[in-house]
Structure 1
Amino acid sequence: MAKARTDKPRKPNIFMRIGLYIKQTFNELRKVVTPTGKELFSWSFAVFVFVLVLMALVTAMDFGLGKLVLLVFG
């Protein structure tokens, strides 16, 4: 009776895996589209406004919770 082979498939060596990773990275970078100046400005402005809104929210929560703690614990 013949014995079945249960050998796992061998992984390529570390240098081949690194090379494959670099090749795939460059292939993905070729797909990247550079935004126009107008798009860059509009997205930057949107991010700036979003950060300002979050800062205002956190500041209001900090102020409100601080007042609440002073009210409760005197």
Structure 2
Amino acid sequence: MSEDGDKDKEDDAQRPSRPDNAASRRGRRGSARKGNGRNNRDQANPQRKSSGAGAGAGSSGGREGSAAKAGTIEEKQPLHQRIVRYIREVLGELRKVVWPTRKQMSTYTVVVLAFMLFMIGLVWALDLLFARVVFAIFG
């Protein structure tokens, strides 16, 4: 923060404000995309916007058509290309994973083993207790 507070206020005024809620964030993301997908869907199927008894039947038919179109596009690709794309996407997601360090991994392992030993001991103790109670009752 600078010593001149007015300068910071001017910078804040130029920056766009953060979205207040999830709906405004979605709207902002959608407007940043080319063609804003929501408007394209509504223009392609004007019955989605209408209300009333006829809207339900018309809107479901439009969804089936768009789903069928999406399915045929992917079916045109050969199987090996779809498999290669899938593997690339998996590797891309694995790069995003924050992997634990060796120290964290050993700590987590010790915690899991200690918890398992505790649970084994608890189940063993309850089993022994119930066995003695049943033996005392039924002799």
Question: RMSD of the TM alignment (CA)?
Answer: 2.7
Instruction: Name the aligned partner's letter for residue 42 of structure 1.
Output: T
Alignment: residue pair count: 71
Instruction: Name the aligned partner's letter for residue 47 of structure 1.
Output: V
Please give the alpha-carbon distance, in whole angstroms, between the structure 2 residues aligned to 1:61 and 1:24.
48
Instruction: State the 1:60 CA deviation.
Output: 0.9
Instruction: Name the aligned partner's letter for residue 58 of structure 1.
Output: V
Instruction: Name the aligned partner's letter for residue 66 of structure 1.
Output: A
Structure of greater Rg: 2
Instruction: State the 1:42 CA deviation.
Output: 1.1
TM (normalized to structure 1)?
A: 0.70
Unaligned runs of 5+ in 1: none
Higher helix share: 2
TM (normalized to structure 2)?
A: 0.42
- Pick aligned residue for 2:109 from 25, 44, 54: 44
Q: Which has the higher contact order (CA 8 A, sep 6+)?
A: 2
Which stretch of the first structure deviates more once superposed, 61-70 or 31-40? 31-40
- 1:68/1:20 CA distance change after superposition, 3 Å: farther
Unaligned runs of 5+ in 2: 1-61
Please give the alpha-carbon distance, in whole angstroms, between the structure 1 residues aligned to 2:120 and 2:88.
41
- 1:18/1:69 CA distance change after superposition, 3 Å: farther
